[in-house]
Amino acid sequence: MSAVVGVTSSTASDYDVDAVRELITRWREDPGATYRTWFLWEERLKNFCSIRRGIEQVAAEMEAGHFGYAYKGSSLETVMHSIAEQRQMFKGADHAFLWKPKLRIPDIYENRENQLVFGRMLETCRCCTSEQPVLTAVRQLADHQIKGLGPAAANMLYFLHPTIMPPFNTAIVNGYNALTGARVKLGKWHEYLAMRQGILALNDRFRDLFSNDLGAVAGLLFDIGSKRYTAPPRGEDDAAAARAAWTADLVRVREQAVASRASVEAERQDLTHTRVQGWLRDLGSALGFDVWIASNDRNRSYAGGRLGDGCLGQLPGGLAEGPAASAVALIDVLWFHRDGTVAAALEVEHSTSIYSGIVRMLDLALSRDQADAAHGMFLVAPDSREADVRAQVQRPAFSRVADLQVRYLPYSELENNRESAMRFGRGLHPLIEMSRDLT
């Protein structure tokens, strides 16, 4: 048995390296585990930019004294909602920030000094480019001992620095303790920072199976902590009996994964994000526009080819050189006039955070020489998500959205009317007729 030995109650004890390697390999192949449902999920990557933008707004409002004294309707709620919508890993991540009046926690709403300390920590971490300033900012926050504000905030830091700060929740802590034999406790920043060291060591030990992005190793710990997988036996256990029981459990999980594969594949046959992007691509081309497909989607398979076939290979000059180019490039579909100006921006919100799409549209509208972009913005979503779309647009954090004249385009309208629009339509008129006003 090969083993790794740690030194404190918050870092690794001993674990069977070969067994852990086998566990990680099985976990990576499991279609229902977080590695495939969340870490490899392309929509996850789009959230980084929008959450960073949201954190910037939270910090700016706290510094200027405009944040207010309530969580509901605040820019912080918008950010945490975007994180919590990634339910594969972050279900309930926003609960830690809900105001609990009887306990007066977390004490960042009524206490101005605490609010400034928290906001400045976020802004410092947002602007940092290396590990040490981030850790210094976190330790300074911990030293301030704000009541009720524990390492749940590390989830925000993960989306700022995914290679430095791992996500944090109860399942991850439980999984880490089960795998390593550590005794990390919830709620304390120093415990989180000690666990972080252990996670970095674990990630480095199995770098060929994990990633520089600490979301991968956190996903494994989450699946162990949520009981999808059992941690392999450690050195203090009865080796033969424990290893046999653990192997049997791995086989059980594998059988369950195979049994569920059929339903997973069936879901993939449903109306998908990619299919709707393809509809919008073809409709835009038929209406005489040049079409851009999101940079991380263009190589997806679609209609016997690639989703990006026949589309622009790069954003038009002024937009490509603007400060928000990287965010704009992730907008699901853009239609351009022949002169390179934006005719329409379309975000497909199949099941992901509507917040992220709105932020990318704001980035586009604020980009240089794109003032007219505010007259052709559409959120394309299933009919069942109309209430969600309207609720997001009405958030105080998106007061500027009213100026953008963003419209809601239901899947059913697009599906039923796109072919006739392709044959007889002209300009944006068909899209306006199919969509609904959100103001």
DSSP of 392-424: HHTSGGGTTHHHHT-EEEEHHHHHHHHHHHHHH
The CA distance from 321 to 307, in Å, is 24
pLDDT in tens, the chain (439 residues): 444 433 345 654 567 888 899 999 999 999 889 999 999 987 788 889 889 989 999 999 999 999 988 898 888 998 998 899 888 999 999 999 999 999 999 999 999 999 999 999 999 999 999 999 999 999 999 999 999 999 999 999 999 999 999 999 999 999 999 998 888 998 899 999 999 999 999 999 999 999 999 999 999 999 999 999 999 887 654 555 555 555 555 555 555 555 444 444 434 434 588 999 999 999 999 999 999 999 989 998 888 899 999 999 999 877 887 777 888 898 999 999 998 888 999 999 876 667 778 888 877 877 655 445 446 889 999 988 888 888 877 776 666 666 677 899 999 999 999 999 999 988 999 999 999 988 7
The CA distance from 281 to 291, in Å, is 6
Through-space distance between the first and last CA atoms of the chain, rounded to whole angstroms = 64
Residue 437 burial by Cβ neighbours in a 10 Å radius (0-12, 13-18, 19+):
exposed
Buried b (16+ CB within 10 A) or exposed e, 256-279: ebeeeeeeeeeeeeeebbbbbbbb
The CA distance from 259 to 232, in Å, is 23
Rg of the chain, C-alpha, whole Å: 24
The CA distance from 411 to 432, in Å, is 14
pLDDT score for 2? 44
pLDDT score for 264? 45
By C-alpha distance, which of 363, 356, 347, 348 is closest to 400?
Answer: 363
Q: How many degrees, rounded to 5, is the angle at CA 73 between CA 120 and CA 400?
A: 85
Three-class DSSP labels, the chain: CCEECCCCCCCCCCEEHHHHHHHHHHHHHCCCCHHHHHHCCHHHHHHHHHHHHHHHHHHHHHHHCCCCCCCCCCHHHHHHHHHHCCHHHHCCCCHHHCCECCCCECCCCCCHHHHHHHHHHHHHHHHCCCHHHHHHHHHHHHHHCCCCCCHHHHHHHHHHCCCCCCCCCHHHHHHHHHHHCCCCCCCCHHHHHHHHHHHHHHHHHCCCCCCCCCHHHHHHHHHHHCCCCCCCCCCCCCHHHHHHHHHHHHHHHHHHHHHHHHHHHHHHCCCCHHHHHHHHHHHHHHCCCEEEECCCCCCCEECCEECCCCCCCCCCHHHHCCCCHHHHCCCCEEEECCCCCEEEEEEECCCCCHHHHHHHHHHHHCCCCCHHHHHCEEEEECHHHHHHHHHHHCCHHHCCHHHHCCEEEEHHHHHHHHHHHHHHCCCCHHHHHHCEECC
Structure token pair of residue 48:
């980084």
The CA distance from 207 to 211, in Å, is 6
State the pTM of this model.
0.74
